[in-house]
Structure 1
């Protein structure tokens, strides 16, 4: 089985060469394979892809957002992180309070209609400004519902209480490292149909301790191979580093198991561009050693060192 960046590039080739054509909820269309696994040895470098530039600050700020249990994009926008904007914006433009231009199917229309794209960009900027500066507006339209942060930190029970899964799993790793129950799940069947802007794609993860090293395996039900999966790889690698740091362990492997791994039809050209590039060495991650709890880390406490990559490759987000 391929490791390092080659594992990701092989996934891209597998989907392009063997994927089945499938329709999807965004009406974009995909090539898709079912069931794929990649392994990354975290002791050999931090898996931030080099065949295209991947912005670490976006990955880190999103992960801190999850760790804090936050579900409102206001926090992300204050760090100039726009990766969840479209889902909140969709809620806003579909609400009765919205009275601006018709934004139906804005994700696809903004890619094919230059005049509409300009209109959409104006409306999105106005929306973002209101989210950042108007707390009441942000509370109503910036909240994405019971997405990752809430499920990780405040899972609802049938008794009306909450479970802090992330805190519990860290404590479990410390006191009973050989346990086979170091698990966190974001897939809550009660919340999926009605209380989430986007049902969780990375649905559950498990930690494993052996020989003083912490490994993590993620099960991801649905993976946007070009745009999403590179972020997921780096995000869970970072989470593994942070928890290993708190638990006084070294890092082991990140194992990424995918259910429906797909490339959107409007990403195929970009994927081929990436596959024609030569990978470089992975960078390293530097953490502030004075921080002892994962819940105390801030952006300035994490740094990527010696990151060299090819240029970024842009592609539209399917919403």
Structure 2
């Protein structure tokens, strides 16, 4: 059984059976028809994935590894906030007529800040510290910038990464670990998408910094299943998990800014059929 499937099934079962129902409460999201989008939610969900042992892509349904990598690189590599530089349409509902989502996500990663060593944006600072100060406890990013929230089409959901380097006994290479913090997570539409994205990021950064990959810890403040998603989730978690795929990252790439979605593959990735027609609350 894929470990990621087990984590997902257990999380969904716990949310549905033990979560808080927001039906009748004042909620912000709505469905396309204008009705409130209620959820069943759990507070403070923490999932751990050992990337050295397995890549955490669901087999219960397929996660598009190239598409989620493309969005990751749109934010972390292109540092863009314009959907015209993205190859999918997942941000279309939040973009203005120019394609901008405001001062969100990639915009925040592009802003340079003064350090004693010079000017760095958040991505370049992470890479600098991993190469020069790997045992620092200050290697982190933050997209939740209060002064810019009013100019964001959507407040960042996956808003922060904290990196931590360890060394295993008897190993020559250091091990790169990371904590992904999310204030909110749509479990059906986005949970495994985000897990795969930041697993890819850890693999990429480990490779360019000559480290090996370790753990991804996913911390979710509000893990929720929308009311119209519950039957889909029940069907999904009733499926039989399959064997986890193998992860391949192009070993020739040593510069983070040279990675493309084509440098990422899932080998022997067998899955059940996709869940289609997932309604998205906005």
- Decide: shared fold, TM above 0.5: yes
**Alpha-carbon distance between aligned partners in 2 of 1:162 and 1:202, rounded to the nearest angstrom:** 25
In the alignment, structure 1 segments of 5+ residues that lack a partner are 93-139
Residues 153, 164 of structure 1: 8 Å contact kept: yes
Equivalence for 2:138: 181
Which of the numbers 212, 215, 224 marks the counterpart of 1:262? Answer: 224
Distance 1:253 1:233, change over 3 A: same
Task: Report the TM-score, using the length of structure 2 for normalisation.
Answer: 0.88
Residues 69, 154 of structure 1: 8 Å contact kept: no
> Could you list the per-position Cα deviations for residues 161-202 of structure 1 after superposition, in whole angstroms to 9, with x for gaps in the alignment?
98511110111011111111110011001111x211110001
**Alpha-carbon distance between aligned partners in 2 of 1:3 and 1:190, rounded to the nearest angstrom:** 40
Residues 186, 200 of structure 1: 8 Å contact kept: yes
Cα drift, residue 299 of structure 1: 2.1
Cα drift, residue 285 of structure 1: 2.0
Equivalence for 2:261: 299
Cα drift, residue 49 of structure 1: 0.9
Task: Report the TM-score, using the length of structure 1 for normalisation.
Answer: 0.78
Residues 51, 310 of structure 1: 8 Å contact kept: yes
The question of 1:83 aligning with 2:39 is answered no
Distance 1:220 1:233, change over 3 A: same
- Aligned residue for 2:148, secondary structure, equals coil
Which of the numbers 11, 14, 33 marks the counterpart of 2:42? Answer: 33
Residues 208, 214 of structure 1: 8 Å contact kept: yes
The question of 1:221 aligning with 2:230 is answered no
**Alpha-carbon distance between aligned partners in 1 of 2:270 and 2:178, rounded to the nearest angstrom:** 25
The question of 1:66 aligning with 2:101 is answered no
Q: 1:225-264 to 2 correspondence within 5 Å?
A: 225-264=187-226
Greater helix fraction, Structure 1 or Structure 2: 1
In the alignment, structure 2 segments of 5+ residues that lack a partner are 30-35, 168-173
The question of 1:44 aligning with 2:53 is answered yes
Q: Give the total of aligned pairs.
A: 261
| Greater Cα radius of gyration, structure 1 or 2 | 1
- Aligned residue for 2:213, secondary structure, equals strand
Equivalence for 1:318: 281
Q: 1:113-152 to 2 correspondence within 5 Å?
A: 140=98, 142-152=99-109
Which of the numbers 202, 205, 221 marks the counterpart of 2:161? Answer: 205
Cα drift, residue 155 of structure 1: 5.5
Equivalence for 2:151: 195
**Alpha-carbon distance between aligned partners in 1 of 2:64 and 2:270, rounded to the nearest angstrom:** 12
- Aligned residue for 1:270, secondary structure, equals helix
